[in-house]
A and B are shown apart, each in its own frame.
Chain A
Amino acid sequence: GQNIDQPTEMTATEGAIVQINCTYQTSGFNGLFWYQQHAGEAPTFLSYNVLDGLEEKGRFSSFLSRSKGYSYLLLKELQMKDSASYLCAVKDSNYQLIWGAGTKLIIKP
């Protein structure tokens, strides 16, 4: 079967750095996405990786290793507004997105 694994919950301190990991086993790979979802709101797109390596976008970076079936989302200079769930999703061989259950990130002052 297809599977996306990410930690259920993480806690970090305002101003610090946090890394959220995602491992996947899917039938085929056509890209990996990270979304942010605040409580009670819709998921919003953060990043897309299709080639190995690091993609940087402001305070957020996303890394991909296709050979290891692994990605991480790195958040720097954490702010209270970064408290949210972070969803990892992989596009499989049928070009359908397979979603992880999400990582709830709690930021403490």
Chain B
Amino acid sequence: IAGITQAPTSQILAAGRRMTLRCTQDMRHNAMYWYRQDLGLGLRLIHYSNTAGTTGKGEVPDGYSVSRANTDDFPLTLASAVPSQTSVYFCASSDGVAGGPDTQYFGPGTRLTVL
């Protein structure tokens, strides 16, 4: 069982280019999340999805879009990358069951540099 995979592992991107970060989970979790992690700051939620076919905005959604066509995949797209989007991006998933801890499990991350 792989858990959650992310691709690419790292990427250097020219400003203005379009980029899609991929995330796939095999745990049949209902909920999925995209975070960015910057030095000195806590993880910040970009977008989330409580179940396939639905998405929601997190704390820092501007410049990013997501889709959730099926349970397993949750890609994050940067339509026109800017240097302030240089960060480490983590995808996470949880079972989404109400009444329980709904613990989030993280993928290995994508290190993105926008020049």
Contact residues of A with B, CB < 8 Å?
Answer: 4, 31, 33, 41-45, 48, 50, 87, 89, 91, 95-102
Residues in A neighbouring B102, C-beta threshold 8 A: 91, 95
User: Are B101's CB and A42's CB within 8 A?
Assistant: no
Report whether over half of chain B's contact residues are helix, strand or loop; otherwise say mixed: loop
Contact of B40 among A89, A91, A97, A101 (CB under 8 A): A101
Known: A33-B103, A50-B101, A95-B102. A42 touches B45 (CB 8 A): no
Tell me the B98-115 residues at the A interface (CB within 8 Å): 101-109
Given A42-B90, A42-B108, A42-B109, A102 and B103 contact (CB-CB distance below 8 Å): no
Bound form: Cα–Cα A43–B109 in Å: 10
CB distance from B90 to the nearest CB of A (A): 6
Q: Is B53 an interface residue (CB 8 A)?
A: no
